[in-house]
Amino acid sequence: MGKSIFDLLVTAAETESLDGLNLEKLSSDYYHAYQRMLEHQTQIKHVLPEEMQKALMELDDEYTCMRISSGDVYYRQGFSDAVRLIMQTLTWGPARS
């Protein structure tokens, strides 16, 4: 069975290259959050033993993976809802109730 148009469009969107995209230049919110993150990271390095730093980084990696995965689900659901709305709009016709 062939891929649905939805799957093809999502695959195309997911394979867009974002290499070289500097979010710090595009978003002041991102820039300031990144700067605060670096400050916290420096504080943690001075307080935690090295093995705990590694565990904390792994925890952060897993949390980031969860956030990205949930973002993908929300994006796909929003895209699906938008396509459904467009299709309903295109096929709408007056009807008596």
- Global pTM exceeds 0.75: no
To the nearest 10 degrees (0 to 180), the angle between helices 50-91 and 5-14 is 140
- Residue 44 to residue 73: CA distance in whole angstroms: 32
**Start-to-end CA span in the chain (Å):** 39
Cβ 10 vs Cβ 82: under 8 Å: no
**What's the DSSP call for residue 48?**
S
Cβ atoms within 10 Å, residue 30: 13
- Residue 53 to residue 44: CA distance in whole angstroms: 7
The SS3 call for residue 8 is: helix
The tens place of each residue's pLDDT in the chain, 97 residues long, gives: 566 766 766 666 666 656 677 878 888 998 999 999 999 989 988 999 989 989 998 999 999 999 999 999 999 999 999 999 999 888 887 777 6
